[in-house]
Amino acid sequence: MLLATASVGLIAPTIAQASDVLNIEGIKNYKSSINSSSKKFFDSKSFVNENNEKLVTTNDSELGIENSQPTFEAGSFSDTTTLDGQVVFSVGAINALEKVGEAALGESVRAHYMWQGNLNTSFTGDDNLYVRLKSGNTEGWMKSTTYGTYLSSAKGNTDQLKIDKIWYTFPLGESHTFWVGPKIENYYMHATTPSIYKPVTKQFTLGGNGAAYGASTNPGIGYAYKADNGFAISTNAVSQEGDSTGGWGTSESATSWATQVGITKPTYSASVMVNMKFNGWMDSYYSTASGKLRPTGNGVAGKGDSTNIGLRGWWRPEDSGKAIPSISVGYDTSETDASTNSNTTAYFVGLTWTDAFNVDDRIGVAFGQPQTREDEAVDPFAWEAYYSYAVNDSITVTPAVFGTTDRTGVEGRDVKGAVLETTFKF
């Protein structure tokens, strides 16, 4: 909308009048103002310089004719709407050691991208309407949950630009916050940050993206209370069929109801969460093939319920650039309705060194056991390691290696891989 409005406003007078006079100084001033901030603000003055002069002007007295073209005004965005985003290029390959007779993942080198734009609009100064636009062409192992090789940056919607997230949040007083939205995930509504480790593979998100913290983008609501001393409590619910004939929160809808209690201080945090999942809600990012299954519920296979408890904590040194890393840990236990083998467990450890060699660089190492059912004969294991180098304030290059052992709960299902990601922020 912005580009179209601006283009018409600039091109139409130029076509009608052959001798437009460009305000070059105004353009320089406008360019300088753009470079002063990484976020883009759009309002009714977006296309005038700081002296309130139009960037493109016409001198009708020199032309000797009357300008009969209609006037177009750029800047249809709200004064309180901001836009920021990122683009990620991912290039990598894996080596999969499979048992005979089982399908192998593609091992060729893959190159994909993801584009994301974040729109934030405030109507009162304290509320926020958030809309995330996203597109990408990620496929293959970069988007596979089977081995935990799903990249955090991955988006595979065949190059189509779509609304990926949308919700509205507003405060009630200084300590209470509410969320409501047709496309939101539970973890955006948690009051305590469960982990400060930034993963390359999505399985290590939130201190283990499994039974307790696993989420799905669907209609949801939430509430959070944050006290001045760092104590916080939040509760939220999301239904996977909330936008379909199944209905929100019904017996036909897989629903996640998560309640979290935690405390956060400048150098540490601890939290516990109970996530009640109904009607066959399954989590795949950090789980074996059996660990994610749910028993029969409501007379339908795979529609059982589960009670999932997640413990999270993190600690970081007061100063960056030290040999001692920040530490994030997580442990999940899940109890299903199954008459036997009803329990699953998972754990996670993430280490981060910041400003190790250069300002704003990052070294990350994570490992753990995905959600595993108690009767599984193997102990699956997953890990990753990376170095993130900031070329400047807007460009970051991150080479990473990762691997899994018996990741699906079957012996010999091992994967090793490497990826190079370049992130452009705007």
SS (H, E, C) 351-398: EEEECCCCCCCEEEEEEEEEEEECCCCCCCEEEEEEEEEECCCCEEEE
Cα angle, residue 416 at apex, residues 410 and 420 outer, rounded to 5°: 145
Cα–Cα distance measured from residue 163 to residue 121, given in angstroms and rounded to the nearest whole number: 15
Give the CA count within 13 Å in the CB-facing half-sphere of 380: 33
Q: Give residues with Cβ within 8 angstroms of 333, minimum separation 6.
A: 211, 308, 309, 343, 344, 345
Question: Model-level pTM greater than 0.85?
Answer: no
From residue 335, alpha-carbon distances to 159, 223, 286, 306, 351 in Å are: 40, 26, 16, 6, 29
Q: What is the pLDDT of residue 249?
A: 83
Cα–Cα distance measured from residue 396 to residue 315, given in angstroms and rounded to the nearest whole number: 25
Assess contact for 400 and 385: CB atoms under 8 A: yes
How many other CB atoms are there within 10 angstroms of residue 110's CB atom?
A: 18
Q: What is the pLDDT of residue 303?
A: 85
Cα–Cα distance measured from residue 238 to residue 222, given in angstroms and rounded to the nearest whole number: 9
Cα–Cα distance measured from residue 48 to residue 42, given in angstroms and rounded to the nearest whole number: 12
Q: Residues in the chain, how many?
A: 426
Q: What is the pLDDT of residue 262?
A: 98
Q: What is the pLDDT of residue 299?
A: 66
Cα–Cα distance measured from residue 255 to residue 170, given in angstroms and rounded to the nearest whole number: 23
Nearest residue to 48 (alpha-carbon basis) of 80, 11, 75, 77:
75
Q: What one-character DSSP code corresponds to residue 71?
A: P
How many other CB atoms are there within 10 angstroms of residue 234's CB atom?
A: 23
- Concatenated DSSP letters of 19-66: T-EE-HHHHHHHHHHHHT-SSEE--TTTTB-TTS-BSEE--HHHHTS-
Burial zone of 366 (CB within 10 Å; 0-12 exposed, 13-18 middle, 19+ buried): buried
Low-confidence ranges of the chain (pLDDT < 70): 1-78, 98-104, 297-299
Q: Are strands 81-97 and 56-57 parallel, antiparallel or unpaired?
A: unpaired
Number of alpha helices (DSSP H) and beta strands (DSSP E) in the chain: 3, 19
Coil, strand or helix at 224: strand
For 156-211, the pLDDT digits (tens) are: 999 999 999 999 999 999 999 999 999 999 999 999 999 999 999 999 999 999 99
- Bridge partners (DSSP) listed for residue 327: 315, 351
Cα–Cα distance measured from residue 37 to residue 219, given in angstroms and rounded to the nearest whole number: 34
Cα–Cα distance measured from residue 257 to residue 191, given in angstroms and rounded to the nearest whole number: 14
From residue 128, alpha-carbon distances to 82, 153, 176, 177 in Å are: 11, 24, 14, 11
Q: Residue 10 is inside which H or E element, if any?
A: helix 2-16
- Bridge partners (DSSP) listed for residue 222: 179, 236
Secondary structure of the chain: what % helix, strand, coil (to 5)?
A: 10, 45, 45
Coil, strand or helix at 138: coil
Per DSSP (E only), the strands in 67-217 are: 81-97, 110-121, 128-136, 162-172, 176-184
Coil, strand or helix at 419: strand
| Extents of the domains making up the chain | 2-63, 81-425
Q: What is the pLDDT of residue 366?
A: 98
Coil, strand or helix at 108: coil
CATH class, 81-425 region: mainly beta
